[in-house]
Amino acid sequence: MSRYDLSDFEWRVIKPLLPNKPRGVPRVDDRRVMNGIFWVLRSGAPWRDLPERYGPRTTCYNRFVRWRKAGVWDRLMGAITSAHDGDIQMIDSTSVRAHQQAATAKKGGQITVSVDRAAGSRRKSTSLSMRKGFPSGSA
């Protein structure tokens, strides 16, 4: 079991909510495909780098897109959060960022603000030739 794979508990909650068409070609194992989708989403890797243990990457991608359009992912997330009684917390790294030197900061240090308070009133795109008292380049 990979670290991105669904637990048995999560799979039992999700399995009854998946779309199921009894007609046509038998589907590839849903749990394997979902684990592949989660691997791509959580690792940030492109679909072409999906490990072979999850099946064909086109199957995983097509099912992800089809289920997104059909609203299946919204139903699945609702079922998982209600099954965990609200004990799930998710943090996106794009909203929580630390400065690159935040981990090495000294404890008890003083925080300094590096914003020039008067900078907001200055013009930022004035060319040098437009400044007052600057000699013109033409003779």
Q: Who has greater pLDDT, 9 or 87?
A: 9
pLDDT of 110 above 90: no
* Report field, pTM of the whole predicted structure over 0.85: no
**Cα dist from 32 to 5, 6, 22, 28, 112, whole Å:** 8, 9, 19, 8, 51
**Residue 47's pLDDT is what?**
93
Q: d(Cα 61, Cα 67) in Å, to the nearest integer?
A: 10
pLDDT of 115 above 60: no
Q: d(Cα 69, Cα 72) in Å, to the nearest integer?
A: 8
DSSP alpha helices (H): ranges in 29-125?
A: 30-43, 57-70, 72-83
88: how many CB neighbours lie within 10 A of its CB?
11
